[in-house]
Amino acid sequence: MSTERTAPAPQVTSRIRPALTRYRVMAWVTGIGLLFVVAGMVQEYALDRGDSITRVMGPVHGLFYVLLLITTFDLGTRVRWPWSRMLLTALAGTVPFLSFYAERKNHRAVEEQLAGRPAAS
């Protein structure tokens, strides 16, 4: 019995790569949207500037976050992540800058899995 990992079949890889790309885009868009929301909140509450960008960016970030949840679930089921990893990845979209870190870590893990190397968690 061999414990070597082999690279996934080409048809599996062809379904994972687009899901990975969708996830990466949504992680970045959600992270940037959250930074705009936080900047608007600082402007509104700390600087007492009244009307801010949070009225627009709050709902927009919420939409992006829902799309991030969908793309996280899609990618996670394709690469067979445990539920805990999908949950932590989803929560990363609620903390400023954390979605960028999670995206990088998840991208690296999926690329290693596709290359047939054991992924470092």
Q: How many domains does the chain contain in total?
A: 1
Assigned token pair, 69: 């949840």
pLDDT of the residue at 119:
52
Place of tokens 């500037």: 49
> Is residue 83 assigned to a domain?
yes
Q: Which residue segment(s) compose the domain that 80 sits in?
A: 10-115
> Is residue 105 assigned to a domain?
yes
Q: Where are the beta strands (DSSP E) in the chain?
A: none
Each residue's pLDDT tens digit, 59-107: 899 999 999 999 999 999 999 999 999 999 999 988 989 989 999 999 9
pLDDT of the residue at 100:
93
> Is residue 1 assigned to a domain?
no
Please give the model's pTM, rounded to 2 decimal places: 0.78
> Is residue 109 assigned to a domain?
yes
Q: Radius of gyration over alpha carbons of the chain, in Å?
A: 17
> Is residue 120 assigned to a domain?
no
Each residue's pLDDT tens digit, 37-58: 888 888 877 777 766 677 788 8
Q: Are 106 and 23 in contact (CB under 8 A)?
A: yes
Q: How many CB atoms lie within 10 A of CB 102?
A: 22
> Is residue 46 assigned to a domain?
yes
